[in-house]
Amino acid sequence: MSTFATRAAVMAALFAATACSDRLGPSEPGRDNPRAIASSPEATLQGPSRQQATNERLARRFAIALRDDAFRATVARSLKASTVREGKLHLQGFLDADRGVMRHRLAELANEPQIVIDADLNGSPAIEIYLPVPEHRLRWRGDSDVLVATAERDGDSPVAFNPAGDRLLLDPDHPPDTPVIALGRAETRFTQPGIASLECETCFEDPGAGGSGTGGGGTGGTTSLVNAGLYMTYAKFDQTFEGWLKGDPEFEVHMLGQDGSSSVMKSYQCAGEKAGAPYQFDQNSTVWSGSVLLFSQSQLDAYKAQHPSQAIRVFIVEDDDGGPASSKRIRRGWSGCFSKSCRPTGI
């Protein structure tokens, strides 16, 4: 059995994903929401992006529509029934179901022309809605005590609206007590309304790899490893690097190597939540343990035959937002343990 000539590297770089004027009423902090910060209509975010402005309009309309008992009950029921991780729904797909009855109802309840709402929905990348805070998901059962919030960039103060249409700025570091429905650029790739794709965009099938990699958000996992290759058995980060409005972090490990004879590197294999077995693992806290295949021996042999003088890089990213306009960002403060053994090892 040949040995791996690998190099683990943490690089501060951007990794491009291949895999997105308001009519505001007066606002005041919610009495049961001490972390909310009041914002007047003029106190908008400095230099908001075009998509952020669009998302704020959609969030306000959606929040106002939640005043209607039937609309709110349909939203709550659909979120509860979602089979996508964290109970996510594809907003455009949800509104367009049943010949667009919910899209039409949204326009009616928001008291805006359908064509105006269509322009924002059709001109946006895939948008998802969900309750990103686990405690909120468990507690919200469709009552009117709810906010709809959006933030285009992680770390920004989320802009929230209550069912009265009032605009609030929320604490970016701590969620409020009031349940929050997040509305924003989809991190999940929806292939059909309400259905997420389970394939990493840069994952490639390796016919020689078998078994299944497992693991959880810091709770570990076990697997039966039968193939030679590079395995990750432990990973630790200083923080999860993602604000509460963005939900769970999506850490991915990419095996980077030379693309043909160019000076550009490409991902030959990725491991993560959306990767198929045996490259699938899911880390939702700062510590993960288990065993997941990163690169099989046959993949390494094929790469070394094509690039005998080039090393493979282990590149770890946290996937912030999906879509062509987004990026996957490398995170500092990572430590990991790798094993070449065919048997799982742990730290």
Domain locations along the chain: 6-17+201-339, 37-196
Q: Would you say residue 17 has pLDDT above 50?
A: no
- pLDDT higher for 275 or 141? 141
What is d(CA 66, CA 69) in angstroms, rounded to the nearest whole number? 7
pLDDT level of residue 336 (50, 70, 90 thresholds): very low
Class of residue 173 by CB neighbours under 10 A (exposed 0-12, middle 13-18, buried 19+): exposed
What is d(CA 347, CA 341) in angstroms, rounded to the nearest whole number? 14
pLDDT at 237: 77
What is d(CA 7, CA 313) in angstroms, rounded to the nearest whole number? 5
- Say if CB 163 and CB 144 are below 8 A apart: yes
Instruction: Give the closest residue to 96 by CA, choosing from 77, 121, 73, 79.
Output: 121
pLDDT at 149: 97
Question: For the segment 271-328, what is each residue's pLDDT rounded down to a tens digit?
Answer: 887 777 888 887 767 788 888 899 999 999 999 999 998 988 888 876 554 433 333 4
User: What is the percent of the chain with per-residue pLDDT over 90, rounded to a whole number?
Assistant: 41
pLDDT at 65: 98
pLDDT at 86: 86
**Any residues with CB less than 8 A from the CB of 292 and at least 6 apart, and which?**
213, 214, 215, 223, 231, 232, 253, 271, 278, 279, 280, 281
What is d(CA 4, CA 155) in angstroms, rounded to the nearest whole number? 39
Lowest mean pLDDT across 48-62, 206-220, 321-335: 321-335
Beta bridge partners of 291: 214
pLDDT at 189: 67
- Say if CB 134 and CB 61 are below 8 A apart: no
pLDDT at 116: 97
pLDDT at 340: 41
- Say if CB 216 and CB 284 are below 8 A apart: yes
Q: Would you say residue 211 has pLDDT above 70?
A: no
What value does the mean pLDDT of the chain take? 73
Question: For the segment 73-86, what is each residue's pLDDT rounded down to a tens digit?
Answer: 999 999 999 988 88
Question: For the segment 174-206, what is each residue's pLDDT rounded down to a tens digit?
Answer: 999 999 999 998 877 676 544 443 344 444 445
Question: For the segment 72-119, what is each residue's pLDDT rounded down to a tens digit?
Answer: 999 999 999 998 888 999 999 999 999 999 999 999 999 999 999 999
What is d(CA 277, CA 205) in angstroms, rounded to the nearest whole number? 10
Distance linking the first and last C-alpha atoms of the chain: 24
* One-letter identity of residue 271: A
What is d(CA 76, CA 68) in angstroms, rounded to the nearest whole number? 12
Q: Buried (b) or exposed (e) across 97-130, using 16+ Cβ within 10 A?
A: beeeebbebbbebbebeeeebeebbeebbbbbbb
- Say if CB 217 and CB 237 are below 8 A apart: no
Lowest mean pLDDT across 20-29, 167-176, 250-259: 20-29
Q: Hey, how many other C-beta atoms are within 10 angstroms of the C-beta on 40?
A: 10
Q: What is the mean pLDDT of residues 224-245?
A: 74
